[in-house]
Structure 1
């Protein structure tokens, strides 16, 4: 009887560990909101190519579709929250561009909001990224319409540690975009509220 109880405890522990592992795997990778780890993004690396991955999630947060293609040419930076990647127009989810016309860029320089966004994003998208992953809850966008998404980039390699650049967070932190609100005043991006508060405290906006 004692041996049987021990066996049941071992089985229970194994099931618990498997459940935790599955949860961690989803949180690290196939999650509609969480920032993916560099290791998750590295699975899409193709030597000598810049890859664009688009993941679509349903209302329950389940990954239902993934496309992957090589990016030919430059990524278009059409302002703080607009990107054109492989012919697809992307809008950073829940964000509004340019809460102020001027921003304090590189901590000391006064730039126009749009110019600062283009300078920063072009350097990351077109200069450093090997993988661009955008996540959307829009399952079937009509042809030619903008896709609301959160975008993440893998940078590093060739002696530099791999890391994830969170485009949404970067635009908010640098004071180049503001979190949108619903009609009843709720935040559209509660996950970025801390970055927005930090940006305001550091005086990146209203540089005039």
Structure 2
């Protein structure tokens, strides 16, 4: 009997530990959330904006979820206004070149290409927008640095997460910022930036 109790306790520990890990993974301040995590906020016939705030230790300390009225405004490759909140994609700078290769063969203005792509994702295909920030108490009308993710899919199309930060870098519309001593502000996106350059998305002229 004692042995059975120990085995039961171990199984419970493993199950609970696994569940806790899965939640922590989706609630990580830097990681891309899974489509399953985003779908819990999905409302039929409406868009939802979720804003998660994390402290310096990476702990989720606040979350708001609200119906998104109106369109997401796309100011350029890194500027978004979502539900009245001004956001700059974290650690990125806009338009490393004036012209980019967009839609595989066309030469576009970097800003126009970013607006076209992001408008399609946020305003035509997305049903949930989730942004993560380390800013806990922003000043009124302050632009906050955040990483943003959009749930697309439904109506026969599989659900998936679009990583806005990664998309802008991969398409050559934004590049990774550097600290004063030259360190990358987004080491998680270095591979996407390298791939973008190898595919010749920038310097379309």
TM-score (norm 2): 0.95
3-state secondary structure, aligned to 1:130 = strand
3-state secondary structure, aligned to 2:9 = helix
Aligned residues: 205
> By how many angstroms is 1:6 displaced?
6.5
3-state secondary structure, aligned to 2:145 = strand
Question: Which of residues 48, 51, 56 in structure 1 aligns to 2:48?
Answer: 51
3-state secondary structure, aligned to 2:147 = strand
3-state secondary structure, aligned to 2:71 = coil
1:73-101 C-alpha deviation (Å, 9 max, x unpaired): 11100000000111111000000000111
> 1: distance between equivalents of 2:63 and 2:19?
22
> By how many angstroms is 1:30 displaced?
1.3
3-state secondary structure, aligned to 2:56 = coil
1:141-160 C-alpha deviation (Å, 9 max, x unpaired): 10001011000001111111
1:117-176 C-alpha deviation (Å, 9 max, x unpaired): 001001111101011000001001100010110000011111111111000000000000
Report 1:137-176 matches (<5 A): 137-176=134-173
> By how many angstroms is 1:17 displaced?
4.0
Root-mean-square deviation (CA), in Å? Answer: 1.4
> 1: distance between equivalents of 2:156 and 2:5?
48
> By how many angstroms is 1:104 displaced?
0.5
> 1: distance between equivalents of 2:141 and 2:87?
11
> 1: distance between equivalents of 2:75 and 2:105?
24
> 1: distance between equivalents of 2:39 and 2:22?
17
> By how many angstroms is 1:207 displaced?
1.0
Matched, 1:73 2:94: no
> By how many angstroms is 1:16 displaced?
3.5
Unaligned runs of 5+ in 2: none
* Corresponding residue of 2:9: 11
Report 1:13-32 matches (<5 A): 13-27=11-25, 29-32=26-29
> By how many angstroms is 1:59 displaced?
0.9
Question: Which of residues 34, 55, 64 in structure 1 aligns to 2:31?
Answer: 34
TM-score (norm 1): 0.94
3-state secondary structure, aligned to 1:199 = helix
